[in-house]
Amino acid sequence: MSATVVLLGPPACGKGTQAERLRDRAGFALVATGDLLREARAAGTELGARAAVFMDRGVLVPDELIIGIVAEAVGALGSGPVVLDGVSRTVPQALELDALVRAHERELTAAILIDVPDDEVVRRIAGRHQGRTDDTPETARERLRVYHRETEPLVRHFEARGLLRRVDGAQDADSVEDGVRAALG
């Protein structure tokens, strides 16, 4: 069964960077819902237009839209290991992901929480200007609130299943990468 790894953590915790490193240096396929949504938006699709309204407010895109794009992306994968960046963000998404993973004869191997304290998250977002329309200080604060309210309950969900691995995200990217690799054994 192919390994399936979930990366979890607050906005600006470095999930995107670590997911790309697993892709570029460890042979993982990468599914990043934020990227898929931004691509859909840039391509002017209906999905992209619907998602944009939520993304620009810093709130989550409704589960049914996400579940559709994740199902399509996972269905298109080959048999190798995959890292999921930004999925799941809610408990219903996690339950759907379980079903999807089983349906494709994969196995959820680990959920890696990249832990960064709130004040560091706010500092990082204030300092980064990547041209993302949801990267203003106000939306950053909203995304952090949404993380605590809707995504953090997943920590217990994965912990209860023995899948949670914590990595200190308040370090440089190389050290975080070492932590991620160690967490994957």
| Helices 46-57/63-75 angle, 10° precision | 120
Phi-psi region of 18 (alpha: psi -120 to 50; beta: other; left: phi over 0): alpha
> Per-residue contact track with ligand AMP, 98 to 137, x per CB under 6 A?
------------------------------------x---
Q: Which is nearer to ligand AMP, 84 or 167 (CB)?
A: 84
Which residue is catalytic, options 132, 141, 166, 181? Answer: 132
Size of the site for ligand AMP (CB under 6 A): 16
Candidates 54-62, 99-107, 119-127, 160-168 — which segment interacts with ligand AMP by CB under 6 A? 54-62
Q: Which is nearer to ligand AMP, 150 or 159 (CB)?
A: 150
Contacts 24+ apart (CB under 8 A), 143-151: 143/11, 143/58, 143/59, 144/10, 144/11, 144/118, 146/58, 146/59, 146/60, 147/10, 147/11, 150/60, 150/89, 150/90, 151/8, 151/88, 151/89, 151/90
> Where in 134-163 is the site for ligand AMP (CB under 6 A)?
134, 143
Binding flag, residue 61, ligand AMP (CB under 6 A): yes
With CB under 6 A as the contact rule, which of the stretches 82-90, 115-123, 157-165, 167-175 interacts with ligand AMP?
A: 82-90
Check if 143 is active-site: yes
Question: Quick one: 54 exposed, middle or buried, by C-beta within 10 A (0-12, 13-18, 19+)?
Answer: middle
Strands in 106-115's sheet, in edge-to-edge order, are: 29-32, 82-85, 2-8, 106-115, 164-168
List 8, 60, 73, 180, residue binding ligand AMP (CB under 6 A): 60
Catalytic positions: 15, 89, 128, 132, 143
Residues contributing to the site for ligand AMP (CB under 6 A): 11, 33-34, 37, 54-55, 58, 60-61, 66, 86-87, 89, 93, 134, 143
